[in-house]
Amino acid sequence: MAKQTAKLDGVKIMLAVSGGIAAYKAIDLASKLTAGGAEVRTVLTENALHLVGAKSFEAVTGGPVYTSLWSTGCLTAEQEEFKIGHINLADWADVIVVAPATANILGKFANGICDDLLSTTLCACWAKPMLFAPAMNEKMWANPAVQENVKFAERLGVELIGPRQGRLACGAEGIGRMAEPQEILEAVGRIAAQRKHKNK
């Protein structure tokens, strides 16, 4: 039986993709979010661009993709405004989804480091509903510094989904796989519903 699609009509989602091998799963996630009715804008780190193409996200979401200080694709006048401002992106989004969330982006978020568009935007929208889907080598996940960053993110209200047990990019078995797109989609649907109820 096919999984039900989350009801995300009218929800504005900023999908943040950092440079982990699991970035390829984010294309499927972007497609599922869009099929659920969400308006999706994607932010890719420079490292993510080495693994996945901006055009793939444009194709499945119909929305612009932002990298560094530039956006790609055919933009409307309204979209052009987002080219220059991380604050604009932060203000626009209802929910922020970071998938995959690497050890690097977790560390930047937890320590207020702002050295690219994604980390700067995350710093600006820390008070909004956020869902991180960690993905990394099991040894990195077990690192006490990474765990401290995770705890700090959770104290700020960030919800984490995963990582899961399974085969990792290095070939080993362990905890570090990004949660599957369908699982992330269902979590986003729940967060969006909670946000809607709270606003009422």
Q: Which residues are catalytic?
A: 170
70, 105 in Cβ contact below 8 A? no
* β partners of residue 70: 67
List the strands of the sheet with 39-44, edge to edge: 70-72, 65-67, 39-44, 12-17, 95-101, 130-134, 159-160
Q: What is the CA radius of gyration of the chain?
A: 16
Residue type, 165: Q
Evaluated on CA atoms 42, 30, 146, 141, the torsion sign reads negative
